Amino acid sequence: MMNDKIAQIKTFVNENVTNDVLKKVGISATILFVVIVAQLIIHEVVMVVDAIPVFNGIMQLVGLFTLINFVRNNLLTPEQRQEFVGKVQNTYNDIVE
């Protein structure tokens, strides 16, 4: 009885699994593995950088400067705001279409 099931499974695999399927599964598994390893490395780098006391404060200042610069260039006047909204809508339309 168990040998019959094993024989059925072998027959199914031999009939339905091709080298192309195995290659696709192998490529997908490799990409997944690389992504997981990259995430682990990025996590460790962020933890090391976060442990440097001065760097954290500097990055907050850079973020504040970037925010002020963005507001100054895009949001101060009604014309700038309207132009910015148009750019966002164009980008959204390009992505969706």
pLDDT the model gives residue 27 = 87
- In terms of domains, do 46 and 64 share one? no
Q: What is the rounded CA–CA span in Å between residue 87 and residue 80? A: 10
- In terms of domains, do 71 and 46 share one? no
For residue range 26-64, list pLDDT tens digits in order. Answer: 888 999 999 999 999 999 998 998 888 888 888 899 999
What residue numbers bound the domain in which 78 lies? 53-97
pLDDT the model gives residue 76 = 92
- In terms of domains, do 62 and 90 share one? yes
pLDDT the model gives residue 9 = 81
Q: Which of 51, 73, 89 is the last residue of a domain?
A: 51
* Range list of H helices, 1-97: 2-16, 19-51, 53-74, 78-96
Longest dimension (CA), the chain: 80
- In terms of domains, do 1 and 46 share one? yes
- In terms of domains, do 87 and 58 share one? yes
- In terms of domains, do 41 and 8 share one? yes
- In terms of domains, do 33 and 46 share one? yes
- Token reading at 51: 């442990």
Q: Which residue has the tokens 């997944």?
A: 32
- In terms of domains, do 57 and 47 share one? no
Q: Domain tally for the chain?
A: 2
- In terms of domains, do 45 and 64 share one? no
pLDDT band for 1, please (50, 70, 90 cuts): low
